[in-house]
Amino acid sequence: MAEDEIERIPGVGEATAEKLREAGFTDIMSIAVSSPQTLAELCEIGQAQAQKIIVAARKMAEIGGFETGDVILEKRKKVGRLTTGSKQLDAIMGGGFETQAITELFGEFGSGKTQIAHQCAVNVQLSEDVGGLSGETIMIDTENTFRPERIIQMATALDLEPAQALKKIHVARAYNSNHQMLLMEKVNEIAKEHNVRLLIVDSLTAHFRAEYIGRGALAERQQQLNKHMHELLRFGDVHNAVILVTNQVSARPDVFFGDPTKPIGGNIVAHTSTFRIYLRKSKGNKRIARLIDSPNLPEAEAVFSVTEDGVRDD
Ligand code: ADP
Ligand code: MG
């Protein structure tokens, strides 16, 4: 639905539409699934008005219906898998990173998040019989860590023509969290002309963490992140693409495995990611990946290494 469509909701005039947009409610669905309290608070309108707007939005939105298990199984059969370059890491993921899902790599600085992202941007170009998806990559780079030189190394190691490999990776720098979210429009445009099967956001959370500071900003941050992640997920569904996001955390094992009331990266990221992989450094170039959260796979660990050729088994 187009952005100006929120004006079509009965009871939403120009002024209200402006308030809604400023609060991040840019389409009918986002309003339909909101609660009157949240809408009233964030848009500074009365609860009764908020309630009316939500009811109207729900009538207009395609909320979606129920599907039987066999239909969902058919959809699941379309799920593709992307090799990481390490058979061990692929194995704990059930054969590679899944399309139509968000895989979150989280770990401290230098744990290999960006290396895996680069490797996947090359691997996705391979044909399906060797673990690729014969597709292209879009990368939203928030930390200025994309390195074409690294792509050249990795492509060469796989006998891909480096210049061709680089042409299939579309990179945009995001200068702040707002820009990061705005880039999603561009992402959708590029995907109309290119067979994009991998969307990377490296780092998903860095800008949000830096910009929304203090207790008062938390709700707003989570709301924006939630919206962003659902746009990513939608992209994965529509294009049958792998969504790979990174999330830097400082090394505090007590928080990861102990007190569950202190989630890293916020609840929203944890709950919206389909797969969460915790990365940590080991000896030398070895890295340990632990699958933390998955709808259908057991918790498991894999050891891989980061070499000049890229991500490999150790
Ligand atoms: P982060 O989790 O912070 O994104 P990175 O994925 O950037 O971490 O990992 C950085 C590490 O990758 C470096 O410390 C280095 O060990 C390894 N690395 C980077 N480039 C190369 C290369 N050309 N050859 C071998 N190892 C590399
Ligand atoms: Mg990085």
Q: What is the pLDDT of residues 168-183, one digit of tens each?
A: 999 999 999 999 999 9
Which residues have beta carbons under 5 A from ligand 2 (an ion)?
Answer: 113-114, 145
> Are 47 and 155 part of one and the same domain?
no
Q: What is the CA radius of gyration of the chain?
A: 20
Residue 185, token pair as written in the block: 């429009």
In a domain, 219, yes or no: yes
Dihedrals φ, ψ of 195, to 5°? -85, 75
pLDDT band at residue 217 under the 50/70/90 scheme: confident
> Are 146 and 12 part of one and the same domain?
no
Q: How many residues does the chain have?
A: 314
Instruction: Tell me the CA–centroid distance for residue 112 and ligand 2, in Å.
Output: 7
Instruction: Tell me the CA–centroid distance for residue 146 and ligand 1, in Å.
Output: 12
> Are 196 and 159 part of one and the same domain?
yes
pLDDT band at residue 76 under the 50/70/90 scheme: confident
User: Which domain does 298 fall in, by range?
Assistant: 76-313
Cα separation, 214 vs 221, whole angstroms = 10
Say what the pTM is: 0.81
Q: Which residues line ligand 1 (CB under 6 A)?
A: 107, 109-115, 153, 285, 306-308
Mean pLDDT throughout 306-313?
Answer: 98
The total domain count for the chain is 2
Greater confidence, 262 or 66? 66
Q: Is the dihedral of CA 190, 192, 193, 198 positive or negative?
A: positive
Q: By C-alpha distance, which of 269, 294, 289 is closest to 87?
A: 289
Cα separation, 99 vs 237, whole angstroms = 8
Q: Output the residue whose Cα is nearest ligand 1's atom 16.
A: 285
> Are 15 and 122 part of one and the same domain?
no
> Are 18 and 110 part of one and the same domain?
no
263 Cβ neighbours under 8 A, 6+ residues apart: 255, 270
> Are 197 and 299 part of one and the same domain?
yes
Q: Which helix (H) or strand (E) segment is 311 a member of?
A: strand 310-313
Parallel, antiparallel, or unpaired for β 136-141 and 242-248? unpaired
Instruction: Tell me the CA–centroid distance for residue 294 and ligand 2, in Å.
Output: 23
Q: Is the dihedral of CA 261, 266, 268, 270 positive or negative?
A: negative
> Are 85 and 234 part of one and the same domain?
yes
